[in-house]
A and B are shown apart, each in its own frame.
Chain A
Amino acid sequence: MPTRRRAILILSALCLLAVGSFMLALTVGSFKVAYADVFAALLGREGGGGDVVLQLRLPRAIAGFACGGLLALAGALMQVLLRNPLADPYVLGISGGAGVGAMFAILIGLPVLGIDGLAFAGALGAMFIVFGLAHGDGSWTQTRLLLTGVIVAAGCGALVALMLAIAEEHKLRGMLFWLMGDLGQSSQWWPPLAALVVALTLAMPFARELNLLSRGMMQAQALGVAVDRLRYAIYLLASLATAASVTTAGSIGFVGLVVPHLVRLATGNDQRLLLPASVLAGGSLLVLADTLARTLIAPQQLPVGVLTALIGVPVFLFLLSRQPK
């Protein structure tokens, strides 16, 4: 069990990582900006490359950090809710629903705002369908919830495939980028950031109760957790966090599954540390991945979802093999 002091130390180190990822994201790119100019621009002084930093890179980095943080938080919460280490933010069909909404919007040629709006509506739709079906008989066990989510996600996948099949040639690239996850399409940086702050603020007071919930519903109830209410709350919170992220940047894979595991392998399964640490690590990872995505084969851009997986898989396998049995 981490002591409070150790938790603060770890979180401070992760804060430094986050700052580092931002510095990198602001300086590198097809147009190189010196650190001094970045600082000058951040402090509001005119200088070389200030516009690039403030108008393009900073909003994109903030949106990336917020989405990474939201996904990691939602993943950690889903893993506790379903008591399943394989759960990720998308397992209950939220991204599937958002995907259906977004594909439809692109298909009928809506502007960015319309895509975001329909994606969010699709995510909420999937959330309510899964909740309604899984909760139907009042039992809403983990298995039932998981199965319902997986089936709804599969149905959404089929709809997405259908729309891809009938889409016109010139819309396909945009659709594929959305599905793989891409920060270039994010129009606003503040909604995901606000969602992240709200979600983490709401989750933290319940962190110790989440520890107990991860050990079993009856055990948690017996130790004094109002289990039913807590599960509703985390279901809603994780779903909305996922919806906010997916709406901003499409379904970026892997962050939500792997970051909570990385943090758990490094620090243990105490949610009081795991939740904020996952947010910082997930945010930093996504900012770094996005920086790579827009520089590796510049001026072409890669979808960041591909890179998160390419970075995450080897790191995860390394940590797993290093873990003492």
Chain B
Amino acid sequence: MNQPLIEARQLRVTIGDKAIIDRLNLGVASGERLAILGRNGAGKSTLLSTLAGLRKPASGAVLLEGEDAALLHPRQAALRRAWLGQFQNDPFGSTVLETALTGRHPHLGRWDWESTRDAELARGALRAVGLAGMEERQIHTLSGGERQRLAIATLLTQAAPLYLLDEPLSHLDLNHQMAVLELFAGTARDCGAGVIMVLHDPALAHRFCDRALLVYGDGQTRLGPVDDILTAATLSELYGYGLRQIEDRGHRCFIPE
């Protein structure tokens, strides 16, 4: 019982010869939310795709529900975690509903076609991100923000217990940023999903996550509860720029000096 959804053991991640993560131990259990913060190019996305099992670690292991991600069939992995990438480009046309339905792939057998129930799930996911009524639109007619929300809907359709989100807020305006973060907070609270997300705004990380992982880009990392680790001092050091911390009704805010 209480097996973590994902566990990193002595994880070492390299890009070329450079180690960006070294000896990282990490576990995320059901209902937990973890933010990953760091400078541009520090290796946040690389770490996240390694955690998703899409990239081989240099050493150490990633366990998804107790099994080594490197040994899992991609299909089994897809039932245990959903991954949101940073870039979507679509050389071929497709409708919004078709795109959302791709999330059902790991649940379907080789010869199955998507059923009405799958379509209902996809429509529900589209409603959840505010894309109801756009099912038949071609994806290349969508704006950047709509495309991002469609990617999130696809993730919800996949219905895995763990979400790995690489900059889920990119292209989103303020109201949709809050809506998406509240959506995942609600999924974690009500459905016991685990969420790991790469964020740029430490204030949002403080408000919507339980713990934060700071990635320095030279192999060092720091992990801790958001209240302890997201402070003006640590963040100023992380970003290499002085920050001032302001508290307002329990929310923390960071302002550049």
Which residues in A have some Cβ–Cβ distance to B below 8 Å?
Answer: 1, 3-4, 79, 83-85, 205, 208-209, 211-212, 214-216, 218-219, 221-227, 264, 268-270, 272, 325
Inter-subunit contact B92/A222 (CB<8 Å): no
Q: Which of B2-10, B83-91, B123-131 lies on the face that meets chain A?
A: B83-91
Task: List, in ascending order, chain B residues with CB within 8 A of A79's CB.
Answer: 92
Query: Quick check: is B49 within 8 A (CB to CB) of the other chain?
Result: yes
Name the distance in Å between B254's Cβ and chain A's nearest Cβ. 32
Task: List, in ascending order, chain A residues with CB within 8 A of B74's CB.
Answer: 221, 224-227
Q: Point out which of B90, B91, B97, B141 has the most chain A C-beta atoms below 10 A from its C-beta.
A: B91
Query: Quick check: is B106 within 8 A (CB to CB) of the other chain?
Result: yes
Inter-subunit contact B85/A219 (CB<8 Å): yes
Task: List, in ascending order, chain B residues with CB within 8 A of A269's CB.
Answer: 92-94
Task: List, in ascending order, chain A residues with CB within 8 A of B49's CB.
Answer: 218
Task: List, in ascending order, chain B residues with CB within 8 A of A4's CB.
Answer: 113
Name the distance in Å between B47's Cβ and chain A's nearest Cβ. 15
Docked Cα-Cα span, A227 to B114, in Å, equals 21
Give the contacting residue for B88; candidates A3, A85, A216; CB below 8 A: A216
Inter-subunit contact A85/B98 (CB<8 Å): no
Residue of A nearest to B99 (CB): A215
Inter-subunit contact A1/B54 (CB<8 Å): no
Question: What are 16 A-to-B residue pairs whose CB atoms are below 8 Å?
Answer: A1-B114, A79-B92, A84-B91, A208-B108, A215-B90, A215-B99, A216-B85, A218-B85, A222-B85, A223-B106, A223-B158, A224-B74, A227-B74, A264-B92, A268-B93, A270-B98
Task: List, in ascending order, chain A residues with CB within 8 A of B110's CB.
Answer: 205, 208
Query: Quick check: is B73 within 8 A (CB to CB) of the other chain?
Result: yes
Task: List, in ascending order, chain A residues with CB within 8 A of B99's CB.
Answer: 215
Name the distance in Å between B166's Cβ and chain A's nearest Cβ. 10
Name the distance in Å between A16's Cβ and chain B's nearest Cβ. 23
Residue of B nearest to A3 (CB): B113
Query: Quick check: is B103 within 8 A (CB to CB) of the other chain?
Result: yes
Name the distance in Å between A162's Cβ and chain B's nearest Cβ. 36
Is the contact region of chain B dominated by helix, strand, or loop, or is it mixed? mixed
Inter-subunit contact A224/B92 (CB<8 Å): no
Which residues in B have some Cβ–Cβ distance to A below 8 Å?
Answer: 49, 52, 54, 73-79, 82-83, 85, 87-95, 97-99, 101-103, 105-106, 108, 110-111, 113-114, 141, 158
Q: Point out which of A222, A226, A269 has the most chain B C-beta atoms below 10 A from its C-beta.
A: A222
A-B contact sample (12 more), CB < 8 A, given A218-B54, A223-B158, A268-B93: A85-B92, A208-B110, A215-B102, A219-B88, A222-B78, A223-B105, A226-B73, A227-B74, A264-B92, A268-B95, A269-B94, A325-B141
Name the distance in Å between B35's Cβ and chain A's nearest Cβ. 20
Docked Cα-Cα span, A268 to B138, in Å, equals 11
Residue of A nearest to B114 (CB): A1
Task: List, in ascending order, chain A residues with CB within 8 A of B108's CB.
Answer: 208
Task: List, in ascending order, chain A residues with CB within 8 A of B92's CB.
Answer: 79, 85, 214, 264, 269
Task: List, in ascending order, chain B residues with CB within 8 A of A209's CB.
Answer: 105
Task: List, in ascending order, chain B residues with CB within 8 A of A268's CB.
Answer: 93-95, 98
Name the distance in Å between B89's Cβ and chain A's nearest Cβ. 7
Inter-subunit contact A223/B54 (CB<8 Å): no
* A224-B74, A225-B74 given; A212·B83 CB < 8 A: no
